[in-house]
């Protein structure tokens, strides 16, 4: 029997506010343990939370970007559970009336688009962090993260493969970062994912029993964990067993999932409306105001790049991986008007060097304008494409303007017919045997002559001109 995976993802994204959701403590990552805390976020009795409006602004932004309906009145709930990193004994979250529902994102899959539904987006506070020390019989609790604002984005069970799951995650990640509301750092836990997965016989409508996977800290982990879990469940079903509804942890070093705990149900948490917080009323004006702050999103940007710059979709995907990179590319094109050539330089040399130097585009020592100037030097014949590589290296190292480098190093292309003819005559004279062979019909040798001319002109000869002159000379002599 053939089985089909059914996957729904829950993503927790940390919002980029300066302060926590219900108090004024800093959200900065990496501070000394428990230094960013106050009575509110460590859950002292009798405290009163006060909502950070930025959290709602950012959530509305994400909701609009993912085509959700905004609930004009939405409420807070307490989710009760005991855990050492949750001293209050409950988490403030949204339950029955989340801020946003019924959205979707389109994921590019094998040249097409697949629409994945979003069930809901809600706001909540993060818990603290338990730190287990291997060398001591003790665990520690750091409450700096307690009260940091999160949004939870729950997808419909629309995903049908590990690739689709990762595609969906990449898309959400990209949108959050484009919107400037999440730093997307998966290692620091700013973007976390739980995956629900079940299998059903192909053609069957009813969903199977699912497992929930946790502890995946990168897209690669998610991909591998889903692939493993599909195989595991398939094996169970094929051998006549039943999948247990449970939470499982991904172990990346072993490449397997382990059972962690039985799945808890919503009623286990005894959700109830939080009596300390009023409901949030979202006006039309508020939504309109947020709408104005939404930039062009990656998918639309990609489509525009393909349409207006006539570059391949592959280029458009690479060039829009961040807003800053896309801006850099557009600035380059604006100043040289050669979209495909600019794309080649940005994707190849610029990204290559950035990767080597472990830098983002913001840290590029070559500005978009300088790159465009260099492309212009190639286009107007001042330097050859080959010399341009050398110029670019120097620009990267020194930050100097291309024109200056070309002048200082005497790299200007030789386009003067007289001196090129001299060089060619020289080459033909010193290689009489090859000239003879060429005339006997060994036309492959043409490349050899071009190479020799380039060699004695130290790469500065205009290749097009060399070709022309060389052809003329060889057929004449």
Smallest distance, Å, CB 238 to ligand ADP? 18
Site string for ligand ADP, 238-277 (x = CB under 6 A): ----------------------------x-----------
Q: How far apart are CA 350 and CA 371, in angstroms?
A: 9
38 touches Zn ion (CB under 5 A): yes
Residue 134 near residue 115 (C-beta atoms within 8 A): no
197 binds, among ligand ADP, Zn ion, none (CB under 5 to 8 A by kind): ligand ADP
Provide the phi-psi class of 229: left if phi over 0, else alpha when psi is between -120 and 50, else beta. Answer: alpha
Q: How far apart are CA 393 and CA 366, in angstroms?
A: 10
Q: Name which position in 196, 215, 247, 384 contacts ligand ADP (CB under 6 A).
A: 196
156 touches ligand ADP (CB under 6 A): yes
For Zn ion, the closer of residues 121 and 146 by Cβ is: 146
Cβ-proximal residue to ligand ADP, closest one: 8
In angstroms, what is the C-alpha Rg of the chain? 30
Tokens describing residue 12: 């927790």
154 touches ligand ADP (CB under 6 A): yes
Smallest distance, Å, CB 7 to ligand ADP? 6
Q: Name which position in 61, 79, 145, 210 contacts ligand ADP (CB under 6 A).
A: 210
Strand 246-251 and strand 211-216: the pairing is parallel
Which stretch in 100-108, 191-199, 281-289, 377-385 sits in contact with ligand ADP by CB under 6 A? 191-199
Reported as half-sphere exposure (CB side, CA atoms, 13 A), residue 5 has a value of 24
Indicate the SS3 state at residue 173.
Answer: helix
Q: What's the distance, CA 166 to chain centroid?
A: 11
Site string for ligand ADP, 285-324 (x = CB under 6 A): ----------------------------------------
41 touches Zn ion (CB under 5 A): yes
41 binds, among ligand ADP, Zn ion, none (CB under 5 to 8 A by kind): Zn ion
For ligand ADP, the closer of residues 141 and 211 by Cβ is: 211
Smallest distance, Å, CB 42 to Zn ion? 7
166 binds, among Zn ion, ligand ADP, none (CB under 5 to 8 A by kind): none
Contacts of 83 (CB under 8 A, 6+ apart): 127, 130
DSSP states of 317-361 = HHHTSSHHHHHHHHHHHHHH--HHHHHHHIIIIIHHHHHHHT--G
Task: Give CA separation, 309 vs 287, 295, 315, 322, 370, in Å.
Answer: 33, 20, 10, 18, 20
198 touches ligand ADP (CB under 6 A): yes
What's the length of the chain?
477
Which stretch in 56-64, 154-162, 366-374, 426-434 sits in contact with ligand ADP by CB under 6 A? 154-162
Q: Name which position in 81, 207, 272, 314 contacts ligand ADP (CB under 6 A).
A: 207
210 binds, among ligand ADP, Zn ion, none (CB under 5 to 8 A by kind): ligand ADP
Can you tell me which residue has the tokens 């730190």? 131
Smallest distance, Å, CB 6 to ligand ADP? 4
23 touches Zn ion (CB under 5 A): yes
Q: What's the distance, CA 186 to chain centroid?
A: 11
Q: Around Cβ 396, how many Cβ atoms within 10 Å? A: 18
32 binds, among ligand ADP, Zn ion, none (CB under 5 to 8 A by kind): none
281: exposed, middle or buried (Cβ count in 10 Å: 0-12, 13-18, 19+): exposed
Q: Name which position in 141, 197, 387, 414 contacts ligand ADP (CB under 6 A).
A: 197
Chain residues that interact with Zn ion, rule: CB under 5 A: 23, 25, 38, 40-41
């Amino acid at each position: 029997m053939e089985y089909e995976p059914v996957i729904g993802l829950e993503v927790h994204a940390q919002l980029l506010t300066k302060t926590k959701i219900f108090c004024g403590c800093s959200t900065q990552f990496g501070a000394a343990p428990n230094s960013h805390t106050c009575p509110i976020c460590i859950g002292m009795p009798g405290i009163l939370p006060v909502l950070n409006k930025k959290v709602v602004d950012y959530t509305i932004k994400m909701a609009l970007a993912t085509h959700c309906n905004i609930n004009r009145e939405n409420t807070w709930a307490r989710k009760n559970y005991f855990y050492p990193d949750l001293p209050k004994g409950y988490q403030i979250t949204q339950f029955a009336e989340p801020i946003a529902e019924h959205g979707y994102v389109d994921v590019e899959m094998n040249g097409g688009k697949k629409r994945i539904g979003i069930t809901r987006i809600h706001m909540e506070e993060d818990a603290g962090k338990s730190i287990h020390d291997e060398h001591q019989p003790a665990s520690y609790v750091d409450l700096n993260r307690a009260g940091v604002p999160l949004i939870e984005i729950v997808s419909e069970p629309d995903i049908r493969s590990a690739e689709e799951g990762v595609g969906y995650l990449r898309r959400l990640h990209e949108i959050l970062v484009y919107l400037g509301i999440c730093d997307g750092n998966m290692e620091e836990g700013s973007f976390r994912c739980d995956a629900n997965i079940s299998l059903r016989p192909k053609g069957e409508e009813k969903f199977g029993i699912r497992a929930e996977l946790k502890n995946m800290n990168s897209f690669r982990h998610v991909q591998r964990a889903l692939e493993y879990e599909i195989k595991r469940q398939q094996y169970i079903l094929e051998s006549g067993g039943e999948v247990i509804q449970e939470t499982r942890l991904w172990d990346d070093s072993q490449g397997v999932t382990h059972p962690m705990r039985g799945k808890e149900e919503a009623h286990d948490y005894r959700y109830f409306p939080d009596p300390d917080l009023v409901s949030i009323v979202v006006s039309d004006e508020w939504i309109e105001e947020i709408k104005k702050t939404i930039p062009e999103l990656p998918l639309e940007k990609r489509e525009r790049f393909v349409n207006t710059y006539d570059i391949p979709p592959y280029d458009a995907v690479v060039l829009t991986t961040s807003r800053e990179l896309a801006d850099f590319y557009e600035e380059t094109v604006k100043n040289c008007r050669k979209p495909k050539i600019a794309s080649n330089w940005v994707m190849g040399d610029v990204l290559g060097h950035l990767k080597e130097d472990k830098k983002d585009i913001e840290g590029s020592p070559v500005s978009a304008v300088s790159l465009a100037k260099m492309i212009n030097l190639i286009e107007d014949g001042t330097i050859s494409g080959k010399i341009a590589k050398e110029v670019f290296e120097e620009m990267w190292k020194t930050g100097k303007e291309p024109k200056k480098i070309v002048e200082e190093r005497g790299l200007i292309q030789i386009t003067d017919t007289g001196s090129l003819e001299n060089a060619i005559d020289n080459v033909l004279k010193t290689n009489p045997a090859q000239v003879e062979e060429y005339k006997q019909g060994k036309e492959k040798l043409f490349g050899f002559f071009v190479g020799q001319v380039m060699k004695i002109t130290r790469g500065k000869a205009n290749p097009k001109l060399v070709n022309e002159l060389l052809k003329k000379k060889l057929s004449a002599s």
